[in-house]
Amino acid sequence: STMFLVGLSGGIASGKSTVVAVLRELGCAVIDADVIARQVVQPHSKAHQQILQHFGTEILLENGEINREALGNIIFSQPEKRRLLNSITHPEILKEMLKQVLKYFILGYRYVILDIPLLFETRRLTRFMKYTVLVYCDPPTQLLRLMKRSGLGAAEAEARISSQLPLDEKRKWATHVIDNSGDRESTRRQVLQLHARLQGSLHFLWARLLLGTAVAGLGGLLFLLIRHFIS
């Protein structure tokens, strides 16, 4: 009967950004872990300084920001470097996500979408989610979309896809699946159905009414106390 969290994930070129766009159109609260990941490594931040200590200044752009492509090339081929980077950035990302969740709770949202690319790979955050949603597409479609989007050859695209947990494996862990193998309208219909299911709860309505009544009561009490002390 209170606000709950929904974890959203997918795979490279599975169409997660399409689903997020529809959710935002519907007015849903979406917290993008990738956006936060960029924010927490801005120059002069704690994570930025730690990354420079371990990876050197060679990964910097001229403006002092981290060259994500250069850093990505390092961690793509060196798992131990990837783990090191995660140990630096993940605590900062989680702190910022928690701040945003609290903001949406205060604003009275029914649920909050946490857009986390590696939700099913790490599995550590899934226990905090009431539901998990996977944006899925069949492997041939995923490969073609990645090749078209990035200009990669088939072998390179397959290597990128193989570096992630297969979508069919993630599908086993998700409580809801949005199949994005078809056209945009088909995907949109599925997102609308999911939103209606998550949003439609009389229990939540009563919880908000009770909270509103409690806040109004405290406000009235505060008003009476102020009148008492200034009279």
DSSP letters spanning 201-212: -HHHHHHHHHHH
14-53 exposure pattern, b = at least 16 Cβ within 10 A, e = fewer: bbbebbbebbeeeebbbbbbeebbeebbeeeeebbebbbe
Can you tell me which residue has the tokens 């479609």? 141
Helices (H) and strands (E) in the chain, counts: 11, 5
In the chain, the N- to C-terminal Cα span, in Å, equals: 41
CA distance 106 to 98: 12
Distances (CA, A) of 223 to 9, 94, 220, 228: 47, 38, 5, 9
Q: So what's the pLDDT on residue 76?
A: 79
Blockwise average pLDDT, block size 10, the chain, 231 residues: 90 96 96 95 95 94 93 88 93 95 94 95 89 97 95 92 93 96 96 93 44 46 38 39
DSSP three-state, residue 231: coil
C-alpha gyration radius of the chain = 22
CA distance 178 to 190: 6
Q: Considering the entire predicted model, what is its pTM? A: 0.79
Contact 198, 6 (CB under 8 A): yes
Q: So what's the pLDDT on residue 230?
A: 41
130-140 exposure pattern, b = at least 16 Cβ within 10 A, e = fewer: ebbbbbbbeee
